[in-house]
Structure 1
């Protein structure tokens, strides 16, 4: 397989193509023209036509002498679009401020109909927010609002739009001077590409490994080799040895390593399987230190020398040598037949193609495969784009393109065929480190905050649209799941190179040791550096910066955090995203100058191992664009009302650390991790009444402070249909202040939504349980009062699938559990008073009992005991538990794999058979020995010794 071409040779216009006709830009222009009162439709149509022609003709100017001039024009055009975007953002801020100031009374609640939304009449809101003058300085009660004066200028916006038109016209004139192919051919290819796209699946096809069986056998044989003494001495008597796979990017190294690891995990030859990736920039010490910090190498150090192995992959042989690899394997090319099968798997196996046309697609597909130089990565990315466009004309036009002749060209071609919004989201990923695990929820929230996600449908959640973008990247193999985990994804190194070029100067990442200058037009910056006090002044010169992710790393010289933030906030007022990883434990106080960041939508403070408390000034309440606040522990320096944050969607404070009153007035909230009920104004249980957009998980604590069933009903949990997990918690001493009957009334009133997946009750001491409790799928009870029999079990039980009973002082389980017809998993832990088990449902597949009374646990192992009989139909049983920490039991309903009881019985039977066989052999040997002694062939003492040896072997069995 040929080496990939350099990124520069792929196309100088990578960062411009497609982005210019993005719906985001179209929407931006449409808003601007509407605001200015110009005939938006006519102007927009003229611009769209010109920009579309630019996109279609870009490839033809690769070697043009006017290339540099065009590149400059496109940079200017992009900059002009950004300026217009910032002005319109100021306009929307005016609208949000008027809305926030109208909520001046504590009893007011933010109405969902007044929330800013891409699907609502945005333009009319802007007009209602602005006066008819061309320039506005916002004032509140005669004084200017927090931060610097905010000015919105129609004249400035008009100039920007005029600049955009002039740049597009100039670029188009330059293109017309070139001898380019006729537009008809280009247009035809574009029409084929647009009309051939089928429905995009949100699930990537399963990763198929073809043609690597021989390689796998070779690697496995090396892994299982034991070093001889000479090799061990030369390797420095390390308790482990390293085997490396190396080759060019996209050749299948990681896939082969995962293929080997999966095989070894299945065969359980190794207790631990490790896979290390070493990229272009690496430090052997850093790699090993990271592994030790993850507690991966520690088990290897206690093993015998040479018995533990590390399998590493790298682009270069030198990297593996530096890592100390004793055996090194170059990745070989797939043969033509195997590569064609792999390519056809990604193109045809999941495509909606009429069987009568399949032969023609296979013929064209085979010709395309020949151009991909047997690159597995190219097969996957190009194949997925062809799969969702089952149009033979599109496939033929793809076959005829020279761009597919190299791996990087193939990846660039695949990138071109992503939706335009998705391209911008993907380019944003260049600010993250290589091989960084990306969480879908985290990434989507960043995209939404940056304004990359738009929706034309009224009421459609932006996060749902963003997740669709994410799924498209997964489907196209631009994002790959880590070990099959649906919550962790990574970007292949070659695609990482591509995304860096795509992002251009918009995105920049500065790692530890970097001491250069930032690009002056950078918009998204990630900094990990131990000299933040020196870098802060460089950051202040970046007047177009939208994203700032900063981390001080390890072993920093202590700096004054508040002064450093003051420097940054004073110099950079265009930020939309601010993410900080604390460099010291303790309290982090934001300066009042944070109120200057009028565009800010996202504030996140990472968790420090020593704990971090964040103090926010009152000026934060003037950040009307703010969508997300993520702090481990947060408090405001004043008692002002948080209701002013009219755009807040996600309040991600750690459990019990949110000390903010009147949260119930922010009906825009989608995420509220924890709400603590207090006997204090602003913290009542009924504050949850209007938060009906809450989704996923909610924890409610301090329920002993609830007023009764009426207040619980007023919380209106049943209307929160997007919740999937709910935890209801009383304090451990709740019975002292809240009687059992009152607790029961409160619980009855907290009826959750119908389709709730998980429910956890903690320290509940009520006198009874409501019938709705078995209407959930997963139920966890921690230190709760005894669960009795219910009349509603038989009707509601089809929903209950998992049940956990933890540290409850029960002497028996409910006696009608056999009616739980859908129960699959039952976990009982720490129930010291439990004496017997009831009849269990026939549907039960997994049972785990641990930390309970020793007698009841022994009875479950005793054949013939009633408790044993009640569990013998369960397929998987484990008695005794030591491996998981208690906190994990509380937080997760899943448990570790268990050993089936049937397998234990089979093992015991095999052992008995071996003993019987040994006794038979002993009898036969005794007869033979008597004959030998009688014939004087063996002395009698020797025969006795042999007999004793055989007896000892049998007993050890």
Structure 2
């Protein structure tokens, strides 16, 4: 771990010295010499870290030396961070709006600031002495010196290989599917069972989970069961969590219950009369009592139900009274080579593969038939081009490592040491997540950022660097089970394989821990000496265990704390004590807690950079939150009781992500938000109406300097804008990193014309991709900039109650999705909507014109006055359109809902190829389509899927006049 801390410390030292020179208050003179000395020693240590990190695996004395270096590195990082915070605090004083207070700050800072600098100087001198001892010990080990400092490259173009097709498991899969679908040969004691347990048993990394996934997702299996549920169990076997997860899987909603008996009753109600398939992945416990209550509840399912268990422990199969056991052996030599080569040779020319095939077969042989090892090494070898590089991997001394799980650790170590050192640090940090935890990519990047892992590359966006590191790890099989975004295919969530997680914990030892707290006495746990070394921890509290305050606070050097629990009420009373004692925290995650108030003591966490209080019952935040000058991420998503943010938020000049989506009670934002020009994420921007208390609230013009906002911005309260010039000052066109813009004209609604003028003034940059306009009060929505949006792919107009005329949207060349919802005064959708005619007459062209050229999804909903949908006019007839225009050639989905007056569809639908037409609550249109089966039917008879009032209708039957 020290191998990446030292470069970060060196960089921060240089930055602080440079900042200090620019400030009036500087470190005392004697400390400057210590900083120079400290820098020199660190550089000499940095040069040998690569060799030390590898040798510590087999040399205990080297491991002890690295541990001491790690401890002092953390302490140095804390002191340097204090120094940096002091500099920032001096700069931040100018933002205080109270002049008298400002003068007090300035007058006393000359005294207190000098005292603080002396205190920091003393700490630096003490650290320098400790580091000097470590530097002298370094020379005794005769380390090899690295010639250059390792910097991560940009990620190679190699993508994540899909290895879902498993080699050598076809027979096992067929056998498992047979067990699931067919009767199982049973002993006399098993005949009356309503379900049978099938156990997949094998060593770690052998492919048990993958085999279960293949069967679980098999189409025949899907059709065989009414309910299919997948649960990751791991250790411990937490009955409440497992039963909750079963309910959530079936109902798609997490139950707010903590009593086991009540939860079991709910499961019973859900499975009674149903044939279910339940997969319990990674079961360890042999405690029959933990399994018994769930087993008795599941007996109410229909006979033929199945439970599949994956385990490394043969005793689990006996405890669960398995009807059959499927032992999973190693892959054959040929299958192991096939899996390895499929990944290693992905994207390579045949000649290139032939040059290294013989070496590759020897490497594959070392995988010992383990699929995880084959995947890991195959992913590593994709990046090795020359035969010499392949030979180096084959002959590495790491193969001789004797450790637990040594069949898998050497391949993982080879891949690990091939990573740049900053990326290695990011990987090993993941050891603090519980096993089977779904890691959200963007949250992981923010956590890396909070720990200072992403700041080594000058001038690079930390978030972009984090994405590059994540992709690097994903391509090398350190992550798996990817959940992807449906729009752009990017990875949203992932998991770590159990063995990979064990490997990360092996690397970090006691530095990263997952602490399980059940009903054991807390005093027995709080004295654990290893906790003093813990820096990153997840504490999982299972009901009815008390909140383990002393256990957590004993790890006083914690930098990451993630608390997971089942509605534990003790967290609220423990919160102040946590803040007082865990002063080194960089990341604090209390998501889903029952806390209603945040204590003033939170302001003591000066190092804090990541704070997650999402989905809590939080009512307010203290003003002292303004002391958290280093805070980068504040997540308040789903805090429905939170009414406002304190004015102190405006002091958080390093804040990059303010997540306040779902804060339904919040109506204003503090004025200081406009100063947070580092913001990348702002879920909602609330425009104040001015007057009274709102004088200290945000107005639209406070968006002026927030030009780093990215991805999505939702502006609410635009009806409160009283002056068009205020809207112009927002400078939306300068926010070039935004992709999605939502404009909501809620508020006082002074004039209809004002809404139109404000919309005109809110011109976004020309490459915006998604716009939603809602509650607009004008009679038309045609700002001059709309037709200039060459990259606009999605447009939604909703609840614009006075709008009568739709804009000429057919001219938007990139538009793929269009939604028109509750436009209650629109009576006609005609040629103006298509863009066929303008104010000056018909749209003329010397060649055929395509209107809505890329539109795929078109939706109308709640158009109560809409009667006519036409593509013709007196100037532009059907023949003219057919000859000169192509309309919606890419249309795939057409949805029309709750449009009671609409009677007919436009003739140009006949020339499109939609895959689905949905008509709901449109009685006149339904009547014309079904009963008359004439002209309207001819327009849509070619559409394969027609759904009317939630019932699919066969086109052939309609064609016969039904």
Is 1:660 the counterpart of 2:669? The answer is yes
Is 1:210 the counterpart of 2:167? The answer is yes
Q: 1:382 to 1:258 in 2, by over 3 A?
A: same
Residue ranges of structure 1 left out of the alignment (5+ in a row): 1-14, 108-136, 177-182, 883-898, 913-957
SS at match of 2:160: coil
Is 1:24 the counterpart of 2:31? The answer is no
Q: 1:595 to 1:284 in 2, by over 3 A?
A: closer
Correspondence for 1:251 among 206, 215, 223: 206
User: 1:598: which partner in 2?
Assistant: 606
CA distance in 2, matches of 1:400, 1:224: 48
Higher relative contact order (CA 8 A, sep 6+): 1
CA distance in 1, matches of 2:732, 2:140: 62
SS at match of 2:430: helix
Is 1:644 the counterpart of 2:651? The answer is yes
User: 1:697: which partner in 2?
Assistant: 712
Contact 2:650–2:670 (CA<8 Å) still a contact in 1? no
Structure whose CA Rg is larger: 1
> Aligned-pair distance for 1:419?
1.8
CA distance in 2, matches of 1:387, 1:195: 20
Length-normalised TM-score, structure 1: 0.77
User: 2:177: which partner in 1?
Assistant: 220
Is 1:77 the counterpart of 2:69? The answer is yes
Is 1:169 the counterpart of 2:136? The answer is yes
CA distance in 1, matches of 2:176, 2:322: 13
CA distance in 1, matches of 2:34, 2:386: 38
> Aligned-pair distance for 1:199?
5.3
> Aligned-pair distance for 1:878?
3.8
Q: 1:694 to 1:483 in 2, by over 3 A?
A: closer
Correspondence for 2:273 among 289, 295, 302: 302
Correspondence for 2:391 among 373, 396, 405: 396
> Aligned-pair distance for 1:31?
5.6
User: 1:414: which partner in 2?
Assistant: 415
Query: What do residues 500-520 of structure 1 show as CA deviations (whole Å, max 9, x unaligned)?
Result: 122222222212326413511
User: 1:922: which partner in 2?
Assistant: none
> Aligned-pair distance for 1:532?
8.2
> Aligned-pair distance for 1:90?
0.9
> Aligned-pair distance for 1:722?
1.3
User: 1:536: which partner in 2?
Assistant: 549
User: 1:844: which partner in 2?
Assistant: 891
SS at match of 2:590: strand
Is 1:103 the counterpart of 2:95? The answer is yes
Contact 2:588–2:612 (CA<8 Å) still a contact in 1? yes
CA distance in 1, matches of 2:584, 2:117: 12
Contact 2:933–2:959 (CA<8 Å) still a contact in 1? no
> Aligned-pair distance for 1:428?
1.7
Correspondence for 2:85 among 81, 93, 96: 93
User: 2:461: which partner in 1?
Assistant: 461
CA distance in 2, matches of 1:595, 1:814: 60
> Aligned-pair distance for 1:753?
2.4
CA distance in 1, matches of 2:721, 2:123: 55
Correspondence for 1:829 among 821, 844, 861: 861
Q: 1:483 to 1:464 in 2, by over 3 A?
A: closer
Contact 1:447–1:453 (CA<8 Å) still a contact in 2? yes
User: 1:798: which partner in 2?
Assistant: 813
Contact 1:844–1:874 (CA<8 Å) still a contact in 2? no
Q: 1:729 to 1:57 in 2, by over 3 A?
A: closer
User: 1:380: which partner in 2?
Assistant: 375
> Aligned-pair distance for 1:806?
2.7
CA distance in 2, matches of 1:806, 1:254: 45
Q: 1:859 to 1:363 in 2, by over 3 A?
A: farther
CA distance in 2, matches of 1:91, 1:822: 56
Contact 1:367–1:399 (CA<8 Å) still a contact in 2? yes
CA distance in 2, matches of 1:162, 1:375: 49
Is 1:740 the counterpart of 2:752? The answer is yes
CA distance in 1, matches of 2:553, 2:635: 24
CA distance in 1, matches of 2:674, 2:652: 12
Contact 1:284–1:323 (CA<8 Å) still a contact in 2? no
Contact 1:817–1:838 (CA<8 Å) still a contact in 2? no
User: 1:549: which partner in 2?
Assistant: 562
Q: 1:456 to 1:211 in 2, by over 3 A?
A: same
> Aligned-pair distance for 1:347?
0.8
Q: 1:195 to 1:500 in 2, by over 3 A?
A: closer
CA distance in 2, matches of 1:708, 1:873: 52
CA distance in 2, matches of 1:294, 1:791: 44
CA distance in 2, matches of 1:748, 1:686: 15
Q: How does 1:605-644 map to 2 (within 5 A)?
A: 605-608=613-616, 612-631=617-636, 632=639, 640-644=647-651
User: 1:932: which partner in 2?
Assistant: none
> Aligned-pair distance for 1:96?
0.9
Query: What do residues 781-817 of structure 1 show as CA deviations (whole Å, max 9, x unaligned)?
Result: 322247666775454x112100122333244434455
Q: How does 1:94-173 map to 2 (within 5 A)?
A: 94-105=86-97, 141=108, 152-173=119-140
Contact 1:713–1:750 (CA<8 Å) still a contact in 2? yes
Q: 1:788 to 1:227 in 2, by over 3 A?
A: farther
Q: 1:156 to 1:597 in 2, by over 3 A?
A: same
Q: How does 1:741-756 map to 2 (within 5 A)?
A: 741-756=753-768
Moved more, 700-709 or 33-42: 33-42
Is 1:341 the counterpart of 2:338? The answer is yes
Query: What do residues 707-740 of structure 1 show as CA deviations (whole Å, max 9, x unaligned)?
Result: 2433322222121111122222233xx6x84333
CA distance in 1, matches of 2:238, 2:152: 47
CA distance in 2, matches of 1:445, 1:710: 36
Contact 2:533–2:555 (CA<8 Å) still a contact in 1? yes
CA distance in 2, matches of 1:602, 1:417: 30
> Aligned-pair distance for 1:490?
0.4
User: 2:738: which partner in 1?
Assistant: 723
Q: 1:426 to 1:711 in 2, by over 3 A?
A: same
> Aligned-pair distance for 1:436?
0.6
> Aligned-pair distance for 1:492?
0.3
Q: 1:97 to 1:51 in 2, by over 3 A?
A: closer
Query: What do residues 468-525 of structure 1 show as CA deviations (whole Å, max 9, x unaligned)?
Result: 1111111111111345562110000000101112222222221232641351122222
